[in-house]
Amino acid sequence: MKFKQLAAYFQKLENTAKRLEMTDILAELFTNLDPVEKEKIDEIIYLTQGQLLPSFRNIEFGISEKLIHRAIVQATGGISNDIEAMVHQLGDYGLVAEKVCLDHLEVLSISQVYANLEKLAEFSGDGSVARKIEFLADLLKNASPLEAKYIIRIILGKLRLGVGDPTVLDSLSLAYNQDKLLRPDLERAYNLCSDLGLVAKILFTKGISSIIDFKVMVGCPIRVALAARLSGPEEIIEKIGTCAVEEKYDGFRCQVHKMGNKVQIFSRNLENTTHMFPEIIQGTLDQIKESNVIFEGEALAYDPATGQCLPFQTTVQRKRKHGIESIREKFPLKIFVFDLLYADKDLTQYAFSQRRQIMSELIKKGKVLELSPVEEVKTAQRLTEIFEDAIAQGREGIVAKRLDGEYKAGGRNFNWIKLKQSYSDNLNDTIDCVIIGYFFGKGLRAAFGIGSLLAAVYDPTVGRFKTIAKIGTGLSDDELVRFKETLDKIKINFMPKNVESLIVPDVWVDPLYVVEVQADEITQSPVHTCGKDSKDDTGYALRFPRTVGFIRIDKAAKDATTVEEIKQMFNLQGRK
């Protein structure tokens, strides 16, 4: 297939906000690939999501709008000022490229464009800026207007077709099976490797049986298991009976992959954070002899003089790109290992108690990896004691784990149940919201140009963000300024396609950033789209919402609290 045809599909996707239509368009695209093209369906999947590889591979083009500008000028022989004026008028370098690039007889294949983009991302070192401009200008010279538009948007990370993972999964099933029944199998495989391109490629080259047999692969992060909530110790024991209880540490979740002498570390939102944690790499090599292992734990900074673990605000300083050696000396890390997912074979379907057993034999004593202490608990009374001790120790709370529970990748379920300190009479957990826009504000706040945020939660069944609150409290003046600065970099002049909102803020932004929000309770409301599945439904809203801190760097938008969780939290209210 030619890139021109793919660009035409992109255009169709861009023209609709309806998820079902998007699913059909994508399914038609996949169906129209010939067998050779299906072997490279992974490239198409990544491009459709505006990427070259799954995000955990950390590929960045490192090309700013300034460089795009110069490449367009060079490719078209245009006048810099004219291009500048067009950007002002059209608001998007993609649209500018579409306007100024010329049509061609010779057409680019998808693979050619993909290979060129790959090359573009690889240039580094001295003189790489000039080479990037030269190379991109050449690519644009050979691209038709529509192709140029999408090439530019992909490079700038602004493709914004609004195609979420659930839509891709549905359309793969539709293309392969003419129905959506394969979605759970495809989703399971995706949860185990976090790579939609790989899942699609396996489906179309090896068939559905290989998807059903899909196993964890060391080196591909597993989408993390998460904890459900219940209102108290009695409910926990009632729900899962005798359980394993651990403290809930407040640090960085690390999923550590060991392949021989190579170690890779992934964060909760599957970013590759390997280079940030040299002592975890060393600790893993020193304390685990087996070749192929995946384990998870919470990394915490500690005071080297006393050995005392430090609060999250200190641990968070370890999350940085530069100056790692100096901060490492000041605040070394240890990791409380709480699960084992692979040890020369996939263990995700083993019972938790078995995984813990294997884990305790596998991890030797040492300085960095420490098994998270665990106690088997039969009664609500003992659970309460452990919870109170944990809070007294400065922990966030506890996590109770079902003894025979498997590791359920990519989801929140009752195999793990968390219990945290109460924030209000009704809610005992904070809510992670995605900012989708902001309002200018009135009175004193008008001076900052931002007064409140429009916040949404995530609906993973459809891959969309749905509103739940307008937040104006909890924001200090300094934070307002920082929010405005940060959000203005991602503002757009229309409602993002993966957002459902009845409220129109003064400024829309790409749904990228997560903030932690405390509220007094969840109420029903007709103005928010969270939980509102039809026109006549009422949705959910947060009462007295206030932000806690600034943007959460450990969570991606898709890691925000889900609509389903809000429904569950609403039903739990007042049950304590």
Q: Cite the active site residues.
A: 248
d(C-alpha 163, C-alpha 173), whole Å = 15
Smallest separation (angstroms) from ligand ATP to the CB of 268: 5
Q: Which is nearer to ligand ATP, 104 or 382 (CB)?
A: 382
Instruction: Read off φ and ψ for residue 44, nearest 5 degrees.
Output: -65, -40
Task: Find the part of the chain contacting ligand ATP (CB under 6 A) among 61-69, 168-176, 232-240, 245-253.
Answer: 245-253
Binding mask 511-550 for ligand ATP (x = CB under 6 A): ----------------------------------------
Phi and psi at residue 121, to the nearest 5°:
-75, -20
Asked if 372 touches ligand ATP (CB under 6 A), the answer is yes
Q: Which of 117, 216, 226, 457 binds ligand ATP (CB under 6 A)?
A: 226
CA dihedral 372, 373, 376, 377 (to 10 degrees): -100
Is residue 147 close enough to count as binding ligand ATP by CB under 6 A? Answer: no
Q: Which is nearer to ligand ATP, 338 or 508 (CB)?
A: 338
- 507, 486 in Cβ contact below 8 A? no
Of 399 and 427, CB closest to ligand ATP: 399
- Residue identified by tokens 């185990």 is 192
The residue (of 175 and 244) whose beta carbon lies closer to ligand ATP is 244
Both tokens of residue 535? 């026109």
Comparison of 201 and 253: residue with beta carbon closer to ligand ATP: 253
Q: Does 458 bind ligand ATP (CB under 6 A)?
A: no
Which residues touch 167 (CB under 8 Å, ≥6 apart)? 19, 22, 23, 26, 462, 463
DSSP calls for 478-498: HHHHHHHHHHHTTEESS--TT
Shortest distance, position 118 Cβ to ligand ATP, whole Å: 33
Cβ 401 to ligand ATP shortest distance, Å: 7
Q: How far is CA 215 from the centre of its chain?
A: 22
Torsion of CA 506, 463, 524, 467, to 10 degrees: -10
- Phi, psi at 339, each rounded to 5°: -155, 155
- DSSP H helices in 217-294: 233-240, 278-287
201/257 with CB nearer ligand ATP: 257
Asked if 298 is part of the footprint of ligand ATP (rule: CB under 6 A), the reply reads yes
CB of residue 298 to ligand ATP, shortest distance in Å: 4
Q: What is the spatial distance between Cα 129 and Cα 498, in angstroms, rounded to a whole number?
A: 33
User: In this structure, are residues 259 and 303 in contact, taking their beta carbons and an 8 Å threshold?
Assistant: no
Determine the Cα–Cα distance for residues 282 and 374; give it in Å rounded to an integer. Answer: 25
Q: Determine if 183 is a binding residue for ligand ATP (CB under 6 A).
A: no
Q: Which of 249, 295, 438, 513 binds ligand ATP (CB under 6 A)?
A: 249
Segment near ligand ATP (CB under 6 A); pick from 49-57, 58-66, 230-238, 241-249: 241-249
Least Å distance, CB 322 to ligand ATP, is 25
Binding interface with ligand ATP (CB under 6 A): 226-227, 246, 248-249, 253, 268, 298, 338, 372, 399, 412, 418
